[in-house]
Amino acid sequence: MQLIQFLLILVVLVAAGLAMRFLPGDRSLALKRILALGFVFIAVLAIIFPEALTAVATFFGVGRGTDLLLYVFVVMTLLFAVATIRAKARSDARVTDLARAVALMDARISEQDDSSPAGRNNE
């Protein structure tokens, strides 16, 4: 095994470990872990056996394995962007709901303070 292969495998393993550690999710945690492990397995095989990646690329009608990697990278980047935009929209909706709830709570507290006997004496 060449040094570059060892370094690439190390980077893939570290990236997958960080993704599983810092991207927890109650609903899809198992799916994320399965996909991460599948990615690691395929990445390690592609690093060790680059000619296999070229064979897969020619099977799909792509000239070289590196071109196939580029196409897959572009598609995955777009999927990541869509997932990030959707997550941000959900987060923004939660913040909006929370801001409304806080505003309503503040209004109720202000009404209670104004209608209490202590609040009337201060006028």
Burial class (CB in 10 A: 0-12, 13-18, 19+), 68: buried
Q: Where are the domains of the chain?
A: 1-48, 65-123
Residue 80 has pLDDT above 80, yes or no: no
Residue 102 has a pLDDT of 96
pTM of the model: 0.59
Kindly report, residue by residue over 26-74, the tens digit of the pLDDT: 656 676 778 778 888 888 888 899 899 999 888 888 888 888 888 888 8
Residue 23 has a pLDDT of 60
Residue 98 has pLDDT above 70, yes or no: yes
Residue 92 has a pLDDT of 94
DSSP secondary structure, 48-114, as one string:
H-HHHHHHHHHHTT-S-HHHHHHHHHHHHHHHHHHHHHHHHHHHHHHHHHHHHHHHHHHHHHHHHHH
